[in-house]
Amino acid sequence: MRVIVAQLDIDPQARDAFLSYMATYIDKTRAEQGNVGFDLTAHLNQSSRFTMVEQWADDDALRVHFAQPYVQKFLAWRAEVGLEVSGTAFEVIDSGPQDAVVAVARLRFAMAATR
């Protein structure tokens, strides 16, 4: 399983447009084959900061996701609203009965470098 945790910082004046846009984005993402979970949470003390957690069955599902037209539109749209994204990707190789998760690969990424 591939897990992506990203911090999103949005221009405060674009917050309402961002939330409206993300409501549709989240629904489409959750409906994709290979999507295990997708959550977007707002930070309490910083109204323009969000944390996004995506869970994908495998790299193939993630590649298909990033090839979707609505994702490509999002990647182009984020520059218009001043969205800064940074995060970490994990490959989950084992999950035991105590919910111990072994992460093999961690990497810093910028959405601009996403394939």
Domain ranges of the chain: 2-113
- 11: phi then psi, degrees, rounded to nearest 5: -60, 125
Q: Which helix (H) or strand (E) holds 18?
A: helix 15-31
**Please, which pLDDT band fits residue 5 given cuts at 50, 70 and 90?**
confident
Q: CA 73, CA 78: separation in Å to the nearest integer?
A: 9
Q: What CATH number labels 2-113?
A: 3.30.70.100
**Please, which pLDDT band fits residue 2 given cuts at 50, 70 and 90?**
confident
DSSP code of residue 63: H
Handedness of CA 68, 115, 33, 83 (dihedral sign): negative
Tens digit of each residue's pLDDT (9 = 90 or more) over 24-75:
999 999 999 999 999 999 998 998 899 988 999 988 998 999 999 999 998 8
% of the chain beyond a pLDDT of 90 = 31
- Tokens representing residue 16 in the block: 């309402």
